[in-house]
């Protein structure tokens, strides 16, 4: 009798443990970054900066084209020393243009990375809290080459966005 009772308890315990198993969830980080208010405003700010810098570079580019055309026209008229001086000026301005373009591109990339890191840190905290609250053992980041399939019911993306935006509205983290 005791052996039978022990076997029934053991079977009941092992099947409940087996059926419970780990609970897996996932988030779509890129959707979160673009979906939270802070991410959208950071994206808009970056876009404005990019457009301002692009206009400045286009202005410099137009000046360089004009200078090159002028240089080509005057190449037959100017003496060798004057032509060499104008070519050096053009090359210097062109190098400055290239340096400035690279600097601007680097600045935008760095700003975007900083903003993204700030958002991701907050998202991690929300995901940890949400996973603990809803009983998820693991939460993965879904990307095309990493998580090939997962049921939509395990997608926490929208919940994370809603919690993030609600906290931001309350002045929270």
Across the chain, which has 173 residues, the per-10-residue mean pLDDT values are 44 48 92 94 95 96 93 86 90 96 96 95 96 94 84 93 87 55
Dihedral angle computed from the Cα positions of residues 54, 60, 66 and 68, in that order, rounded to the nearest 10 degrees: -110
CA distance linking residue 117 with residue 108, whole number of Å: 14
CA distance linking residue 142 with residue 5, whole number of Å: 45
**pTM metric for this prediction:** 0.72
Residue 112 is assigned to a structural domain of this protein: yes
Residue 81 is assigned to a structural domain of this protein: yes
pLDDT value of position 173: 53
pLDDT value of position 18: 46
CA distance linking residue 4 with residue 23, whole number of Å: 32
Residue 6 is assigned to a structural domain of this protein: no
State which residues form the domain around 117. Answer: 23-169
Residue 40 is assigned to a structural domain of this protein: yes
- Phi, psi values for residue 25, rounded to 5°: -135, 170
Which residues share a beta bridge with 139? 25
Residue 9 is assigned to a structural domain of this protein: no
Residue 98 is assigned to a structural domain of this protein: yes
Residue 13 is assigned to a structural domain of this protein: no
Residue 1 is assigned to a structural domain of this protein: no
Query: Which CATH number goes with the domain that contains 71?
Result: 3.30.910.20
- Do residues 139 and 25 lie in contact, with contact meaning Cβ atoms separated by under 8 Å? yes
pLDDT value of position 171: 57
Q: How many domains, in total, are found in the chain?
A: 1
pLDDT value of position 17: 45
pLDDT value of position 8: 41
**32: helix, coil or strand?**
helix
pLDDT value of position 170: 64
Query: DSSP class of residue 159?
Result: H
């Amino acid at each position: 009798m005791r052996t039978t009772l022990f076997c029934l308890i053991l079977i009941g315990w092992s099947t409940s443990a087996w059926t419970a198993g780990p609970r897996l969830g996932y988030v779509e980080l890129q959707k979160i970054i673009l979906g939270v208010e802070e991410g959208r405003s950071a994206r808009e700010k970056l876009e404005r900066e990019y457009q301002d810098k692009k206009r400045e570079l286009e202005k410099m580019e137009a000046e360089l084209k004009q200078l090159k055309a002028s240089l080509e026209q005057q190449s037959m008229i100017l003496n060798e020393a004057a032509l060499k001086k104008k070519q050096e000026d053009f090359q210097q301005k062109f190098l400055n243009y290239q340096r400035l373009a690279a600097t601007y591109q680097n600045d935008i990339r760095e700003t975007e990375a900083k903003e993204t890191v700030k958002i991701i840190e907050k998202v991690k905290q929300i995901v940890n809290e949400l996973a603990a609250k809803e009983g998820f053992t693991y939460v993965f980041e879904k990307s095309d080459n990493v998580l090939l399939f997962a049921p939509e019911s395990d997608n926490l993306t929208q919940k994370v966005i809603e919690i993030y935006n609600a906290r931001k509205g309350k002045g929270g983290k």
